[in-house]
Structure 1
Amino acid sequence: MSEQEWDERYASSERMWSGRPNPALVAEVADLAPGTVLDVGCGEGADAVWLAQRGWTVTGLDISGVALDRARAWAAEQGVEATWVKSGLLEADLAPGSFDLVAVLYPPLPRTEDATFERALADLVAPGGHLLVVHHAPPREGEVHHGPGHGHHGDDSGESHRPDFAAMVAPASVLPVLGDGWAVETDAVRERSVEGGAGAHHLEDLVLRARRVG
Protein backbone atom coordinates (compact mmCIF):
# COMPACT_ATOMS: atom_id res chain seq x y z
CA MET A 1 0.00 0.00 0.00
CA SER A 2 1.12 3.54 -0.72
CA GLU A 3 1.66 6.34 1.78
CA GLN A 4 -1.63 7.92 0.69
CA GLU A 5 -3.51 4.65 1.14
CA TRP A 6 -2.13 4.20 4.64
CA ASP A 7 -3.00 7.77 5.55
CA GLU A 8 -6.53 7.25 4.30
CA ARG A 9 -6.81 3.97 6.19
CA TYR A 10 -5.71 5.57 9.45
CA ALA A 11 -7.83 8.68 8.92
CA SER A 12 -10.95 6.55 8.44
CA SER A 13 -11.13 5.86 12.18
CA GLU A 14 -10.20 7.64 15.40
CA ARG A 15 -7.87 4.77 16.29
CA MET A 16 -7.00 1.72 14.20
CA TRP A 17 -5.19 -0.46 16.73
CA SER A 18 -5.88 -1.40 20.35
CA GLY A 19 -3.52 1.18 21.87
CA ARG A 20 -1.79 -1.50 23.95
CA PRO A 21 1.62 -3.11 23.32
CA ASN A 22 1.57 -6.37 21.42
CA PRO A 23 1.74 -9.39 23.76
CA ALA A 24 4.50 -11.00 21.68
CA LEU A 25 6.67 -7.91 22.10
CA VAL A 26 6.08 -7.83 25.85
CA ALA A 27 6.90 -11.53 26.22
CA GLU A 28 10.11 -11.38 24.18
CA VAL A 29 11.53 -8.02 25.25
CA ALA A 30 10.54 -7.56 28.91
CA ASP A 31 13.73 -9.23 30.17
CA LEU A 32 16.16 -7.63 27.71
CA ALA A 33 18.47 -4.85 28.84
CA PRO A 34 17.27 -1.56 27.29
CA GLY A 35 19.29 -0.07 24.46
CA THR A 36 18.50 1.37 21.05
CA VAL A 37 15.45 -0.02 19.28
CA LEU A 38 13.89 0.41 15.85
CA ASP A 39 10.13 -0.20 15.70
CA VAL A 40 9.46 -0.96 12.02
CA GLY A 41 5.93 -0.01 11.01
CA CYS A 42 5.30 1.62 14.38
CA GLY A 43 1.77 2.77 13.50
CA GLU A 44 0.08 4.69 16.29
CA GLY A 45 2.98 4.10 18.65
CA ALA A 46 1.70 1.69 21.30
CA ASP A 47 4.76 -0.57 21.11
CA ALA A 48 7.19 2.34 20.80
CA VAL A 49 5.76 4.08 23.84
CA TRP A 50 5.86 0.86 25.89
CA LEU A 51 9.51 0.42 24.97
CA ALA A 52 10.35 4.04 25.83
CA GLN A 53 8.65 3.65 29.21
CA ARG A 54 11.08 0.82 29.93
CA GLY A 55 14.17 2.82 29.15
CA TRP A 56 14.73 2.03 25.48
CA THR A 57 15.94 4.74 23.11
CA VAL A 58 13.24 4.40 20.47
CA THR A 59 13.10 5.13 16.76
CA GLY A 60 9.64 4.59 15.28
CA LEU A 61 9.47 4.10 11.50
CA ASP A 62 6.30 4.34 9.42
CA ILE A 63 5.23 5.69 6.04
CA SER A 64 1.98 7.15 7.33
CA GLY A 65 2.12 10.71 8.58
CA VAL A 66 -1.33 10.29 10.14
CA ALA A 67 -0.10 7.32 12.18
CA LEU A 68 3.05 9.13 13.26
CA ASP A 69 1.08 12.19 14.38
CA ARG A 70 -0.93 9.90 16.65
CA ALA A 71 2.24 8.22 17.88
CA ARG A 72 3.81 11.57 18.78
CA ALA A 73 0.67 12.63 20.62
CA TRP A 74 0.50 9.34 22.55
CA ALA A 75 4.18 9.57 23.51
CA ALA A 76 3.70 13.15 24.73
CA GLU A 77 0.63 12.14 26.73
CA GLN A 78 2.64 9.35 28.38
CA GLY A 79 5.60 11.61 29.06
CA VAL A 80 8.17 9.75 26.98
CA GLU A 81 10.32 10.67 23.99
CA ALA A 82 11.06 8.89 20.74
CA THR A 83 12.42 9.69 17.31
CA TRP A 84 9.79 9.35 14.61
CA VAL A 85 10.85 8.71 11.01
CA LYS A 86 8.40 9.01 8.15
CA SER A 87 9.81 6.65 5.54
CA GLY A 88 9.77 3.21 4.06
CA LEU A 89 12.36 0.77 5.37
CA LEU A 90 14.64 0.83 2.34
CA GLU A 91 14.42 4.60 1.93
CA ALA A 92 15.20 5.45 5.55
CA ASP A 93 18.68 6.77 6.35
CA LEU A 94 19.50 4.19 9.02
CA ALA A 95 23.06 3.07 9.69
CA PRO A 96 23.76 -0.67 9.56
CA GLY A 97 24.37 -2.26 12.95
CA SER A 98 22.95 0.70 14.85
CA PHE A 99 20.15 -0.93 16.88
CA ASP A 100 20.26 -3.30 19.84
CA LEU A 101 16.75 -4.41 18.92
CA VAL A 102 14.90 -4.32 15.62
CA ALA A 103 11.23 -5.08 16.24
CA VAL A 104 9.10 -5.97 13.23
CA LEU A 105 5.55 -6.79 14.23
CA TYR A 106 3.04 -7.82 11.55
CA PRO A 107 5.06 -6.14 8.79
CA PRO A 108 3.30 -5.19 5.53
CA LEU A 109 6.56 -5.85 3.69
CA PRO A 110 6.66 -7.94 0.51
CA ARG A 111 8.84 -10.98 0.05
CA THR A 112 11.22 -10.81 -2.89
CA GLU A 113 13.38 -13.43 -4.56
CA ASP A 114 16.54 -11.87 -3.14
CA ALA A 115 15.04 -11.32 0.34
CA THR A 116 15.68 -7.57 0.13
CA PHE A 117 13.65 -6.57 3.18
CA GLU A 118 14.75 -9.49 5.32
CA ARG A 119 18.42 -8.69 4.71
CA ALA A 120 17.85 -5.00 5.36
CA LEU A 121 16.26 -5.78 8.73
CA ALA A 122 19.06 -8.12 9.77
CA ASP A 123 21.74 -5.62 8.72
CA LEU A 124 20.36 -2.99 11.11
CA VAL A 125 21.00 -5.15 14.20
CA ALA A 126 24.14 -4.39 16.22
CA PRO A 127 26.46 -7.20 17.37
CA GLY A 128 24.88 -8.74 20.45
CA GLY A 129 21.52 -7.25 19.51
CA HIS A 130 18.22 -8.91 18.69
CA LEU A 131 15.89 -9.14 15.71
CA LEU A 132 12.26 -9.77 16.63
CA VAL A 133 9.85 -10.67 13.83
CA VAL A 134 6.19 -11.42 14.57
CA HIS A 135 3.44 -12.15 12.11
CA HIS A 136 -0.02 -13.64 12.17
CA ALA A 137 -0.14 -17.37 11.64
CA PRO A 138 -1.97 -18.39 8.44
CA PRO A 139 -5.57 -19.49 8.96
CA ARG A 140 -6.04 -23.14 9.80
CA GLU A 141 -7.51 -25.43 7.16
CA GLY A 142 -11.11 -24.43 6.55
CA GLU A 143 -10.85 -21.26 8.63
CA VAL A 144 -11.90 -17.96 7.06
CA HIS A 145 -11.56 -14.63 8.80
CA HIS A 146 -14.54 -12.31 9.00
CA GLY A 147 -14.66 -8.63 9.73
CA PRO A 148 -11.82 -6.13 9.78
CA GLY A 149 -8.36 -7.07 8.67
CA HIS A 150 -6.30 -7.30 5.52
CA GLY A 151 -2.94 -8.77 6.30
CA HIS A 152 -2.61 -7.14 9.70
CA HIS A 153 -4.38 -3.92 8.78
CA GLY A 154 -8.04 -3.03 8.82
CA ASP A 155 -10.28 -3.81 5.86
CA ASP A 156 -13.28 -1.51 5.85
CA SER A 157 -15.20 -3.80 3.51
CA GLY A 158 -15.82 -6.38 6.25
CA GLU A 159 -15.78 -9.18 3.68
CA SER A 160 -14.47 -12.70 4.32
CA HIS A 161 -10.99 -13.20 2.93
CA ARG A 162 -7.74 -15.10 3.21
CA PRO A 163 -4.76 -12.73 3.43
CA ASP A 164 -1.84 -13.82 1.29
CA PHE A 165 0.55 -14.47 4.17
CA ALA A 166 2.99 -16.26 1.86
CA ALA A 167 3.69 -12.95 0.11
CA MET A 168 4.68 -11.09 3.28
CA VAL A 169 7.91 -10.92 5.25
CA ALA A 170 7.53 -13.28 8.21
CA PRO A 171 9.68 -15.50 10.43
CA ALA A 172 9.84 -18.20 7.77
CA SER A 173 11.36 -15.80 5.23
CA VAL A 174 13.75 -14.20 7.72
CA LEU A 175 15.30 -17.41 9.05
CA PRO A 176 17.11 -18.30 5.79
CA VAL A 177 19.05 -15.01 5.76
CA LEU A 178 20.39 -15.54 9.28
CA GLY A 179 23.69 -17.34 8.96
CA ASP A 180 26.25 -18.61 11.44
CA GLY A 181 26.48 -15.18 13.04
CA TRP A 182 23.03 -15.54 14.56
CA ALA A 183 21.56 -17.58 17.42
CA VAL A 184 17.83 -18.29 17.23
CA GLU A 185 16.36 -17.88 20.72
CA THR A 186 12.66 -18.13 19.88
CA ASP A 187 10.95 -19.79 16.93
CA ALA A 188 7.41 -20.54 17.98
CA VAL A 189 3.69 -20.40 17.30
CA ARG A 190 1.84 -18.67 20.13
CA GLU A 191 -1.80 -18.10 20.96
CA ARG A 192 -2.78 -14.46 20.79
CA SER A 193 -5.53 -12.57 22.57
CA VAL A 194 -6.07 -8.88 21.88
CA GLU A 195 -9.23 -6.94 22.66
CA GLY A 196 -10.11 -4.28 20.12
CA GLY A 197 -8.31 -2.95 17.09
CA ALA A 198 -8.15 -4.12 13.50
CA GLY A 199 -6.04 -7.22 14.24
CA ALA A 200 -8.04 -8.60 17.15
CA HIS A 201 -9.55 -11.47 15.14
CA HIS A 202 -6.16 -13.14 14.60
CA LEU A 203 -5.68 -15.93 17.15
CA GLU A 204 -2.09 -17.13 16.66
CA ASP A 205 1.29 -15.49 16.13
CA LEU A 206 4.47 -16.72 14.52
CA VAL A 207 7.35 -15.43 16.67
CA LEU A 208 11.03 -15.30 15.81
CA ARG A 209 13.69 -13.76 18.02
CA ALA A 210 17.34 -14.09 17.03
CA ARG A 211 20.50 -12.64 18.55
CA ARG A 212 23.40 -11.45 16.45
CA VAL A 213 26.47 -13.15 17.88
CA GLY A 214 29.01 -12.27 15.23
Structure 2
Amino acid sequence: MSKEFWDERFSSEEYIYGTEPNDFFKQQIELLDAGKLLLPGEGEGRNAVYAATKGWIVDAVDFSESAKAKALILAESKSVKINYFISDLAEFNFPEDDYDLIGLFFVHLKPSVRDSVHSKLIRSLKSGGRIILEAFNKKQINNTSGGPKDIELLYDEKDILSSFDQLFKNSKGEILLLENTITELKEGNYHKGKANVIRFVGLKK
Protein backbone atom coordinates (compact mmCIF):
# COMPACT_ATOMS: atom_id res chain seq x y z
CA MET A 1 0.00 0.00 0.00
CA SER A 2 1.14 3.51 -0.82
CA LYS A 3 2.60 6.23 1.38
CA GLU A 4 -0.53 8.27 0.69
CA PHE A 5 -2.74 5.44 1.93
CA TRP A 6 -0.86 5.20 5.23
CA ASP A 7 -0.61 8.95 5.72
CA GLU A 8 -4.38 9.17 5.38
CA ARG A 9 -4.97 6.20 7.69
CA PHE A 10 -2.67 7.59 10.37
CA SER A 11 -4.01 11.15 10.08
CA SER A 12 -6.82 10.66 12.60
CA GLU A 13 -6.33 11.74 16.20
CA GLU A 14 -7.10 8.19 17.28
CA TYR A 15 -4.20 5.75 17.52
CA ILE A 16 -5.63 3.27 15.07
CA TYR A 17 -3.56 0.33 16.36
CA GLY A 18 -3.71 1.49 19.96
CA THR A 19 -0.99 2.83 22.24
CA GLU A 20 -0.10 -0.42 24.01
CA PRO A 21 2.75 -2.59 22.68
CA ASN A 22 2.19 -5.73 20.69
CA ASP A 23 1.77 -8.62 23.15
CA PHE A 24 4.40 -10.83 21.52
CA PHE A 25 6.91 -7.99 21.43
CA LYS A 26 6.27 -7.21 25.09
CA GLN A 27 6.72 -10.86 26.02
CA GLN A 28 10.01 -11.17 24.14
CA ILE A 29 11.58 -7.85 25.09
CA GLU A 30 11.08 -8.56 28.78
CA LEU A 31 13.46 -11.52 28.39
CA LEU A 32 16.32 -9.25 27.31
CA ASP A 33 18.61 -6.63 28.76
CA ALA A 34 18.09 -3.18 27.28
CA GLY A 35 20.27 -2.22 24.33
CA LYS A 36 19.78 -0.64 20.93
CA LEU A 37 16.57 -1.48 19.08
CA LEU A 38 15.42 -0.97 15.50
CA LEU A 39 11.72 -1.01 14.58
CA PRO A 40 11.15 -0.80 10.80
CA GLY A 41 7.59 0.02 9.74
CA GLU A 42 6.81 1.24 13.25
CA GLY A 43 3.76 3.35 12.50
CA GLU A 44 2.35 5.28 15.44
CA GLY A 45 5.10 4.29 17.86
CA ARG A 46 3.42 1.98 20.36
CA ASN A 47 6.27 -0.54 20.44
CA ALA A 48 9.02 2.07 20.21
CA VAL A 49 7.68 4.07 23.13
CA TYR A 50 7.17 0.97 25.28
CA ALA A 51 10.76 -0.13 24.67
CA ALA A 52 12.06 3.35 25.49
CA THR A 53 10.28 3.22 28.85
CA LYS A 54 12.26 0.02 29.51
CA GLY A 55 15.58 1.73 28.86
CA TRP A 56 16.14 0.80 25.21
CA ILE A 57 17.71 3.21 22.72
CA VAL A 58 15.15 3.11 19.94
CA ASP A 59 15.36 3.84 16.22
CA ALA A 60 12.06 3.69 14.32
CA VAL A 61 11.58 3.91 10.55
CA ASP A 62 8.39 4.51 8.58
CA PHE A 63 7.43 6.47 5.48
CA SER A 64 4.40 8.16 7.04
CA GLU A 65 4.80 11.68 8.37
CA SER A 66 1.43 11.34 10.12
CA ALA A 67 2.63 8.25 11.96
CA LYS A 68 5.84 9.95 13.07
CA ALA A 69 3.95 12.94 14.47
CA LYS A 70 1.75 10.69 16.58
CA ALA A 71 4.69 8.55 17.70
CA LEU A 72 6.55 11.61 18.99
CA ILE A 73 3.44 12.84 20.82
CA LEU A 74 3.10 9.41 22.44
CA ALA A 75 6.78 9.43 23.43
CA GLU A 76 6.43 12.86 25.01
CA SER A 77 3.40 11.70 26.97
CA LYS A 78 5.54 8.92 28.46
CA SER A 79 8.53 11.23 29.06
CA VAL A 80 10.85 9.25 26.76
CA LYS A 81 12.67 9.94 23.50
CA ILE A 82 12.80 7.87 20.32
CA ASN A 83 14.66 8.44 17.07
CA TYR A 84 12.20 8.37 14.19
CA PHE A 85 13.31 8.38 10.56
CA ILE A 86 11.04 9.00 7.57
CA SER A 87 11.94 6.63 4.74
CA ASP A 88 10.72 3.86 2.51
CA LEU A 89 12.25 0.69 3.99
CA ALA A 90 13.53 -0.33 0.57
CA GLU A 91 15.59 2.87 0.40
CA PHE A 92 16.73 3.30 4.00
CA ASN A 93 20.46 3.02 4.70
CA PHE A 94 20.51 0.67 7.70
CA PRO A 95 23.84 0.85 9.59
CA GLU A 96 25.82 -2.39 9.79
CA ASP A 97 26.43 -4.29 13.05
CA ASP A 98 24.55 -1.67 15.06
CA TYR A 99 21.50 -3.20 16.75
CA ASP A 100 20.99 -5.65 19.59
CA LEU A 101 17.38 -6.23 18.58
CA ILE A 102 15.23 -5.70 15.50
CA GLY A 103 11.45 -5.97 15.69
CA LEU A 104 9.11 -6.43 12.72
CA PHE A 105 5.43 -6.33 13.59
CA PHE A 106 2.83 -6.69 10.87
CA VAL A 107 5.20 -5.32 8.23
CA HIS A 108 3.83 -6.83 5.02
CA LEU A 109 5.99 -6.08 1.99
CA LYS A 110 6.01 -7.53 -1.49
CA PRO A 111 8.29 -10.62 -1.58
CA SER A 112 10.96 -9.02 -3.78
CA VAL A 113 11.20 -5.98 -1.49
CA ARG A 114 10.83 -8.07 1.66
CA ASP A 115 13.83 -10.26 0.87
CA SER A 116 16.03 -7.26 0.15
CA VAL A 117 14.98 -5.43 3.32
CA HIS A 118 15.44 -8.52 5.49
CA SER A 119 18.96 -9.03 4.10
CA LYS A 120 19.86 -5.47 5.07
CA LEU A 121 18.36 -5.99 8.53
CA ILE A 122 20.51 -9.06 9.10
CA ARG A 123 23.63 -7.05 8.27
CA SER A 124 22.42 -4.34 10.64
CA LEU A 125 22.18 -6.74 13.57
CA LYS A 126 25.11 -7.24 15.94
CA SER A 127 26.51 -10.68 16.61
CA GLY A 128 24.41 -12.07 19.45
CA GLY A 129 21.46 -9.89 18.43
CA ARG A 130 17.93 -11.04 17.71
CA ILE A 131 15.24 -10.44 15.15
CA ILE A 132 11.65 -10.74 16.41
CA LEU A 133 8.78 -10.92 13.93
CA GLU A 134 5.04 -11.26 14.17
CA ALA A 135 2.93 -11.06 11.01
CA PHE A 136 -0.23 -12.47 9.55
CA ASN A 137 0.14 -15.90 8.03
CA LYS A 138 -1.61 -17.01 4.87
CA LYS A 139 -4.68 -18.34 6.71
CA GLN A 140 -5.43 -14.76 7.78
CA ILE A 141 -6.86 -14.18 4.30
CA ASN A 142 -10.09 -15.74 5.60
CA ASN A 143 -10.36 -13.48 8.66
CA THR A 144 -11.67 -9.96 9.18
CA SER A 145 -9.35 -8.99 12.03
CA GLY A 146 -6.80 -7.11 9.93
CA GLY A 147 -4.04 -7.45 7.41
CA PRO A 148 -3.70 -7.28 3.65
CA LYS A 149 -6.06 -9.17 1.37
CA ASP A 150 -3.26 -10.13 -1.01
CA ILE A 151 -2.01 -13.66 -0.30
CA GLU A 152 1.53 -12.91 -1.50
CA LEU A 153 1.91 -10.29 1.24
CA LEU A 154 1.14 -12.89 3.93
CA TYR A 155 3.66 -15.33 5.39
CA ASP A 156 4.22 -19.03 5.80
CA GLU A 157 7.21 -20.83 7.34
CA LYS A 158 8.86 -21.24 3.94
CA ASP A 159 8.76 -17.48 3.42
CA ILE A 160 10.47 -16.89 6.77
CA LEU A 161 13.22 -19.42 6.14
CA SER A 162 13.84 -18.12 2.64
CA SER A 163 13.71 -14.43 3.49
CA PHE A 164 16.06 -14.76 6.48
CA ASP A 165 18.31 -17.27 4.73
CA GLN A 166 21.44 -15.16 5.24
CA LEU A 167 20.90 -15.19 8.99
CA PHE A 168 21.48 -18.94 9.01
CA LYS A 169 24.03 -19.34 6.21
CA ASN A 170 26.33 -16.39 6.74
CA SER A 171 26.22 -16.04 10.50
CA LYS A 172 25.32 -19.62 11.38
CA GLY A 173 22.41 -18.15 13.27
CA GLU A 174 19.77 -20.05 15.17
CA ILE A 175 15.99 -20.23 15.09
CA LEU A 176 14.80 -19.66 18.64
CA LEU A 177 11.12 -19.73 17.69
CA LEU A 178 9.10 -20.32 14.54
CA GLU A 179 5.41 -21.03 14.94
CA ASN A 180 1.98 -20.46 13.49
CA THR A 181 -0.67 -19.71 16.06
CA ILE A 182 -4.11 -18.22 16.55
CA THR A 183 -4.33 -15.15 18.74
CA GLU A 184 -6.97 -12.65 19.78
CA LEU A 185 -5.90 -9.21 18.65
CA LYS A 186 -6.88 -6.14 20.65
CA GLU A 187 -4.82 -3.51 18.86
CA GLY A 188 -7.18 -0.68 17.99
CA ASN A 189 -9.96 -0.93 15.43
CA TYR A 190 -7.84 -2.33 12.60
CA HIS A 191 -6.36 -5.32 14.49
CA LYS A 192 -9.31 -6.72 16.36
CA GLY A 193 -10.50 -10.31 16.79
CA LYS A 194 -9.26 -13.80 16.04
CA ALA A 195 -6.15 -13.78 13.86
CA ASN A 196 -3.79 -16.31 12.31
CA VAL A 197 -0.22 -15.15 12.86
CA ILE A 198 3.28 -16.42 12.40
CA ARG A 199 5.94 -15.69 15.02
CA PHE A 200 9.68 -15.85 14.56
CA VAL A 201 12.73 -15.19 16.74
CA GLY A 202 16.14 -15.53 15.12
CA LEU A 203 19.57 -15.22 16.74
CA LYS A 204 22.61 -13.91 14.87
CA LYS A 205 25.89 -15.50 15.85
| Fold match (TM-score > 0.5) | yes
**Which whole-Å deviations, capped at 9, do the CAs of 1:154-185 have from their partners, x for residues lacking one?**
xxxxxxxxx22433567642323132421111
- 1:110 and 1:92, CA in 2 relative to 1: closer, same or farther beyond 3 A? same
Counterpart code for 2:30? A
Matched, 1:89 2:89: yes
- CA RMSD in angstroms, aligned pairs only: 2.2
The SS at the match of 1:135 is strand
Distance in 2, Cα, partners of 1:114 & 1:49: 25
Matched, 1:59 2:59: yes
Matched, 1:173 2:171: no
How far off its partner does 1:57 sit?
Answer: 0.4
Q: State TM-score, norm by structure 1.
A: 0.84
- 1:118 and 1:145, CA in 2 relative to 1: closer, same or farther beyond 3 A? same
Q: Which residue pairs with 1:69 in the alignment? A: 69
Q: How many residues align?
A: 199
| Percent identity for Structure 1 against Structure 2 | 22
Unaligned runs of 5+ in 2: none
The SS at the match of 2:42 is coil
Deviates more, 1:181-190 or 1:112-121: 112-121
| Greater share of helix | 2
Q: State TM-score, norm by structure 2.
A: 0.87
Distance in 1, Cα, partners of 2:203 & 2:115: 19
Q: Which residue pairs with 1:28 in the alignment? A: 28
The SS at the match of 2:121 is helix
Distance in 1, Cα, partners of 2:160 & 2:147: 21
| Greater share of strand | 2
Unaligned runs of 5+ in 1: 152-162
The SS at the match of 1:200 is strand
Q: Which residue pairs with 1:201 in the alignment? A: 193
Distance in 1, Cα, partners of 2:113 & 2:79: 43
1:144 to 122, 136, 142: 142
- 1:139 and 1:174, CA in 2 relative to 1: closer, same or farther beyond 3 A? closer
